[in-house]
């Protein structure tokens, strides 16, 4: 017995040292945790600051600094009008005489590819998930699921290469020639295909989780009524898991909107306000990577335009993520 006379429970000695270290570590860990919050704030701040600089002649921080120093409201010269940015259907920032900054052009490119990809990924992904959860044998699942993980793990740049070296020339071109159509090396359609393919695993695995969460009693109830597997899948499992399945769609769409390298390689670098899937289009993300190289000049309008487009992209995916979060929370309520 170490201390018989004294109860020795006070915060002193070795224990105090250990506790002090515990508190120090806790502070350090909290510091690391706050970096994640700081990251979000920093992303938004950087995007907002430079977007301000895109519309006006100084970034937000510069403007605040100068107007505070001069104690007068510094006149802001607007370089790009909001009306142009939100309604113009031309996007040609590097045009020498008449540069135009209409985000709808890039938005259309993103939308076109996202919708096209969704048309592939959603039905295929949902059907695949139904197969996995209702039909597949244990053995099949054992091999299929890791394959899906690999499919999801292939870098997007590889999908981009696949689009230009295989999807367009080998799959799409001969197919379209039958209908007398022709496509160029870069086209929205091939981007739709590869973005669709790369989002299939996401739809499949999240939907399958939702389907697996459907209690077996529901299935057995339907089977006992003489229902076929088809009917159980379509009329029991799918409706019961619909919110989880829906969440997977939102996530896939959000992923498709933010997808960059595959669409850059596949769809090209020509901003086109069009809904034609055979045309070359430029998405918001593709604009950013293709222009990043040519904008060594910090503060130039092209440099700032990256951030303006980035902010638009950030806000769109933020909304998608929030919707997904909301759907997921509702889905949890249903099953617990």
Partner 1 sequence: MTMATNETEETGGRNDSEPLISTEVTSSETGRGSRADETVLETRNLDVYYGDEQALQDVSAEIPEHKVTAIIGPSGCGKSTFLRSINRMNDQIDVARADGEVLFHEKNVYDEDVDPVALRRKIGQVFQKPNPFPKSIRDNVAYGLKIQGKEVTDEAIERALKQAALYEEVKDKLNSSGLDLSGGQQQRLCIARAIAPDPEVLLMDEPTSALDPVAASKIEDLISELAREYTVVIVTHNMQQAARISDKTAVFLTGGKLVEFGNTNKIFENPDHQEVEDYITGKFG
Partner 2 sequence: MSLDTGSDLLSDVDLTWVKRKELLFHVLLFSAAMFGVAMLALLIFDILIETAYGVLILGIDVGTFLTSGASRTWEQAGLLPAIIGSIWLVFLTLILSFVLGVSTATYLEEYAPRNRTTRLIEANLTNLAGVPSVAYGLLALGVFVNGFRMGEILLAGALALSLLVVPIVIVASQEALRAVPDGMRNGSLATGATRWQTIRGVVIPSALPGIVTGTILALARAIGETAPLIMVGAVLEARSTPDPTSLFGSMPTMIYYWAFRPVTEFHNLAALAILVLLIILVGMYGLAFFVRNHYETRV
- State in angstroms the smallest separation of the CB of 25 from partner 1: 14
The secondary structure of residue 78, as a DSSP letter, is B
- State in angstroms the smallest separation of the CB of 75 from partner 2: 25
Residue 16's binding partner among partner 2, partner 1, none (Cβ under 5 to 8 angstroms by kind) is partner 1
The dihedral region occupied by 171, where left means phi > 0, alpha psi between -120 and 50, and beta the remainder, is alpha
Residue among 1 and 83 whose Cβ is closer to partner 1: 1
Q: Are 277 and 116 in contact (CB under 8 A)?
A: yes
How far is Cα of residue 208 from the mean position of the Cα atoms in its chain?
A: 20
Residue among 23 and 95 whose Cβ is closer to partner 1: 23
Residue 336's binding partner among partner 2, partner 1, none (Cβ under 5 to 8 angstroms by kind) is none
The dihedral region occupied by 305, where left means phi > 0, alpha psi between -120 and 50, and beta the remainder, is alpha
Binding status of residue 318 toward partner 2 by CB under 8 A: yes
- State in angstroms the smallest separation of the CB of 240 from partner 2: 17
Residue 1's binding partner among partner 1, partner 2, none (Cβ under 5 to 8 angstroms by kind) is partner 1
Residue among 101 and 307 whose Cβ is closer to partner 2: 307
Distance CA 194, CA 275 (A): 18
Q: Are 248 and 202 in contact (CB under 8 A)?
A: yes
Binding status of residue 317 toward partner 2 by CB under 8 A: yes
Cα–Cα distance list, 56 to 77, 99, 218, 245, 305 (Å): 6, 15, 60, 43, 11
Residue among 5 and 77 whose Cβ is closer to partner 1: 5
- State in angstroms the smallest separation of the CB of 33 from partner 1: 19
Q: Which residues bind partner 1 (CB under 8 A)?
A: 1-2, 7-11, 14-16, 18-19
Q: Is 56 helix (H, G, I), strand (E, B) or coil?
A: strand
Residue among 81 and 300 whose Cβ is closer to partner 2: 300
Residue among 9 and 83 whose Cβ is closer to partner 1: 9
The single residue among 187, 190, 233, 305 that binds partner 2, judged by CB under 8 A, is: 233
Binding status of residue 164 toward partner 2 by CB under 8 A: yes
Crossing angle between the packed helical segments 301-335 and 284-292, to the nearest 10 degrees = 140
Binding positions for partner 2, 33-52, rule CB under 8 A: 33, 35-37, 39-40, 42-43, 46-47, 49-50
Residue among 4 and 97 whose Cβ is closer to partner 1: 4
How many Cα neighbours within 13 Å face the side chain of 222? Answer: 17
Distance CA 325, CA 323 (A): 5
Query: Rg of the chain's alpha carbons, rounded to an integer?
Result: 27
Binding positions for partner 2, 203-222, rule CB under 8 A: 204
Burial 21-53 (b: 16+ CB within 10 A, else e): eeeeeeeeeeeeeeeeeeeeeeeeeebbbbbbb
CB neighbours of residue 249 within 10 Å: 21
Binding positions for partner 2, 126-155, rule CB under 8 A: 126-128, 130-132, 134-136, 144, 147-151, 153-155
């Amino acid at each position: 017995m170490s201390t018989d006379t004294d109860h020795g429970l006070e915060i002193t000695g070795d224990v105090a040292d250990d506790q002090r270290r515990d508190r120090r570590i806790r502070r350090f860990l909290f510091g690391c945790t706050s970096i994640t919050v700081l990251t979000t704030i920093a992303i938004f701040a950087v995007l907002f600051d430079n977007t301000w600089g895109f519309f006006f002649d100084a970034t937000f921080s510069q403007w605040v600094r100068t107007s505070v120093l001069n104690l007068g409201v510094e006149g802001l010269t607007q370089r790009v009008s909001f009306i142009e940015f939100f309604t113009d259907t031309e996007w040609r920032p590097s045009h020498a005489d008449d540069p135009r900054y209409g985000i709808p052009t890039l938005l259309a490119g993103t939308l076109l590819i996202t919708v096209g990809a969704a048309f592939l990924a959603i039905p295929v992904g949902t059907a695949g998930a139904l197969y996995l959860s209702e039909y597949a044998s244990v053995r099949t699942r054992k091999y299929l699921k890791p394959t899906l993980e690999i499919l999801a793990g292939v870098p997007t740049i590889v999908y981009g290469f696949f689009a230009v070296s295989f999807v367009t020339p080998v799959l799409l071109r001969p197919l379209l020639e039958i209908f007398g159509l022709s496509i160029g090396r870069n086209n929205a359609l091939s981007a739709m295909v590869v973005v669709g393919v790369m989002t299939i695993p996401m739809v499949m695995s999240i939907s399958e989780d939702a389907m697996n969460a459907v209690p077996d009693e529901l299935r057995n109830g339907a089977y006992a009524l003489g229902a076929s597997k088809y009917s159980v899948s379509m009329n029991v499992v799918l409706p019961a898991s619909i919110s989880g399945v829906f969440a997977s769609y939102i996530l896939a769409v959000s992923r498709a909107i933010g997808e960059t390298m595959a669409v850059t390689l596949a769809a090209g670098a020509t901003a086109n306000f069009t809904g034609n899937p055979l045309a070359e289009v430029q998405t918001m993300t593709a604009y950013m990577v293709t222009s990043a190289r040519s904008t060594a000049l910090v503060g130039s309008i092209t440099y700032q335009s990256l951030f303006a487009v980035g902010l638009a992209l950030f806000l769109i995916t933020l909304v998608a993520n929030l919707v997904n979060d909301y759907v997921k929370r509702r889905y949890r309520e249903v099953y617990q």
